[in-house]
Structure 1
């Protein structure tokens, strides 16, 4: 038998060109703080301060545009060859980083778990097979794996469950007389991140965190307009009765205004869909459910039954564990799902800015921390986000970040309690760029979105321009906060790390994206002289 600890350890510049109109000028170089921090390296005296003044004059007009007079910019740019600070604006001020938080989560995870780490999710039973009938319960032991979905299976959402059903049938099982229990006690039962906005929780980007996750803890719906004035059609994926959809869509005539509207009342799995769709228009969306472990075993049972296995029993989340005792000591593993590698998971996490992956990964670090420090009691790890940060903090300290000034509340960046500085972020980026383990370096850098890349969050930005060829950077978007941090190569071949953050802007994404794009393109045109 696998002990809990054994199992868990196993998963164990000269720039004359600007790219948008410049509307404002600063009065003098004193408008920007340009003095390198004491740990930022130094530039060669061969060049003098000329390049720094050139950068200031090229970048500052974008940051001082009237659109941003009520906003706060934080910017830091360093030369990765020397560590020298090339540009600094509020670089040591705490900013809400939004999804730039994922840079911290993924770097710590790669450092502590390694690129080849995989999750394992076991299906146990405490019963015996008699004449084709399994007389006993099915217990699914969650490991925190967020990948049991269609994302790594060519959009085949239920493939893992069908594979499990096939494994059971290969053992001669055609009937199960027992309960289905989802054991998600690898994590605590706090399903949302600290200080998340309650009105986000209907949507995929605020899906509940869980030690057992299926379909990224969402149902996917496809809506099609029918005849003007009539209700639209809705199809649910996966096909399940776990959630109840109330179809209040309306089909409007061509040329009429369309709209979207979704609502899942708190604590329920009743979802109201109130879209206005044009005739023939099809749109899709992913909506979050509540109680991830129960969702997991509910759909699993539905799939087993559709695959010809009769099930007689009830469904339980962790509340059902009291009835099975220490099933890992007395039970048998029937089948196992092994996830893709951490390198593959981080690739999707950063490219798509997948919040659930980040939150589950943070708590996975927490599970490692508790196991390594002998903090597990009664077999239930119950790892929290705070445990994850306890694991990650020494990594950030070793990188050179002042952890007394760092505050992280979640793993994804959905929380407004996250506070980092641009200089902390370039320090982290520099460390990962120069990481002694080339596999970790590659996994991290390769996971960052590229301009115009279809899979990534920069697909509508940097489709052309000086930065397009070399840019690799993580986006961050939250209400009134936006960020872009990563790498770009200057015109003379110098690799640069940069962190650009803006908080409290009220003019919308187009203006901030334009300014950020101009700054990064300016960096791509930079030359020492």
Structure 2
């Protein structure tokens, strides 16, 4: 295990008066993980001085720190009042409680749309007196959608954090269930809500005694939102499952059918999918998501991948005036940030969430994004949307961040996946100037992660806050006679 390092103790080890580079070089010789690739950049935001940098231009996997780029680009391009809309149209008016034709529900990829909101949308129609639709219900969404970005790991696709990104999103395109052991046997019982339009064949077992050398669950994704769960789980306690659907269009189609059946509206026709509205329609009901500022806050605090990539597609749609996808969304994001002065010449961006293993960013590029957030009033609210160490989001319970000196003083975006543990954000403390930092660690050994006393990022930040060379810089008020008198 790597020991926690106190900055003052480390300084006493130096044979010459410590300069910043000497201090951190000696520090890293003690705390740097031996098997990882790392990059660091720390800047005093008051003086503008670089406190320390190492490998700042090395391109590494950003993981969810990519969401910082998405947040800035979406705020700059879409505006803080942007909302996703779900709208109902008809070609004929409601007469005598009847629409003597078809209705159209247009979906825009709202990543936050819930079944309760879909029911409320249809209730707007019953509130107008509608009780029968004599035609069909058409669900309008993009044709031939790109549901996953290049570089998403195949193993992740059945898990809800990698749910398909589509115009059709309901309940996060995710189904929650529970796998429980049966009494007096190794068999399991899978429970999912009965109203959810998916089917799962379950043959998995529980290894209650831990006697199996190779024991893992295997989820196979089949067509038509069918799944097969097999293999074994080592333990004797029930576990929660979060399964991402495979066909969002079918999932929405069957969900709308269920909602209609439970409503007071009779449908004489069928429910099917189309990819374009007729030319002459009238709006008869609408639902809007929360504004972009709220969506971005949720995206950053919870590291919500679906929100991030749904916003990326919106960037592509707005910038290039065509249906959004990962390709044109990534290009739009890069163009928007480049116009803001972020140098992304050698960066590779293929999604907005950071899930893709093809993304590549440097510590310097992430530092430029953070600097823009700090200095430009348009993005000031993004600082308050970051997880706070020991308080909120993905930093609330993270090891070593939920206790002093990091607790409450680190506001940062995490970026974690297999072999990756990144952190990018700010230090705010009464004893030192506002500090920007980016700490990237790729190629992390699973064994080393399991054995470490504290994450590398926590060790570095702990010493950065302890370092006398990085303490509060005197301001004009500090030098004034009144301040000296006190």
User: TM-score band, normalised by the shorter chain?
Assistant: 0.7 to 0.9
1:173 aligned partner: 130
1:446 aligned partner: 384
Q: Which of the residues 9, 17, 25 maps onto 1:56? A: 25
Q: Which of the residues 228, 246, 249 maps onto 1:272? A: 228
1:500 matched to 2:439: yes
CA contact (8 A) 2:4 2:459 kept: no
1:159 matched to 2:116: yes
The gaps in structure 2 that reach 5 residues or longer are 471-486
Per-residue deviation at 1:99? 1.1
Per-residue deviation at 1:97? 0.8
1:93 matched to 2:58: yes
CA contact (8 A) 1:489 1:524 kept: no
Secondary structure of the residue aligned to 1:330 is coil
**Partner Cα distance (1:214, 1:130) in 2:** 30
Moved more, 117-126 or 395-404: 395-404
Deviations 1:303-335 (A, max 9, x none): 121123333333323xx34xxx642x3222221
**Partner Cα distance (1:73, 1:359) in 2:** 27
**Partner Cα distance (1:188, 1:343) in 2:** 30
1:112 matched to 2:112: no
Q: How does 1:109-508 map to 2 (within 5 A)?
A: 109-129=74-94, 131-149=96-114, 158-185=115-142, 189-229=145-185, 231-237=187-193, 239-240=195-196, 242-250=197-205, 261-274=217-230, 276=233, 281-317=237-273, 320-321=274-275, 326-327=277-278, 329-371=279-321, 381-437=322-378, 440-442=379-381, 444-453=382-391, 455-461=393-399, 462-489=401-428, 492-508=431-447
Per-residue deviation at 1:138? 3.0
Q: TM-score, normalised by structure 2?
A: 0.85
Please report the RMSD computed on the Cα atoms of aligned residues, expressed in angstroms. 3.2
CA contact (8 A) 1:492 1:526 kept: no
**Partner Cα distance (2:221, 2:138) in 1:** 26
Deviations 1:485-525 (A, max 9, x none): 11113673211111111222223544576222111211222
Per-residue deviation at 1:238? 7.5
Deviations 1:16-72 (A, max 9, x none): 97179x99xx9999xxxxxxxxxxxxxxxxxx9723422332344211x44x2xx21
**Partner Cα distance (1:245, 1:339) in 2:** 31
Q: TM-score, normalised by structure 1?
A: 0.79
CA contact (8 A) 2:391 2:408 kept: no
CA contact (8 A) 2:180 2:239 kept: yes
CA contact (8 A) 2:344 2:365 kept: no
**Partner Cα distance (1:232, 1:507) in 2:** 29
**Partner Cα distance (2:427, 2:132) in 1:** 58
Secondary structure of the residue aligned to 2:150 is coil
1:528/1:277 CA distance change after superposition, 3 Å: closer
1:278/1:477 CA distance change after superposition, 3 Å: closer
1:231/1:169 CA distance change after superposition, 3 Å: farther
Per-residue deviation at 1:276? 4.1
**Partner Cα distance (1:466, 1:337) in 2:** 45
Deviations 1:319-356 (A, max 9, x none): x34xxx642x3222221111111111111111111111
**Partner Cα distance (2:303, 2:194) in 1:** 23
The gaps in structure 1 that reach 5 residues or longer are 1-15, 30-47, 150-157, 372-380
1:528 matched to 2:469: yes
**Partner Cα distance (1:313, 1:264) in 2:** 34
Per-residue deviation at 1:400? 3.5
Moved more, 392-401 or 494-503: 392-401
**Partner Cα distance (2:15, 2:86) in 1:** 60
Secondary structure of the residue aligned to 2:413 is strand
**Partner Cα distance (2:296, 2:58) in 1:** 28
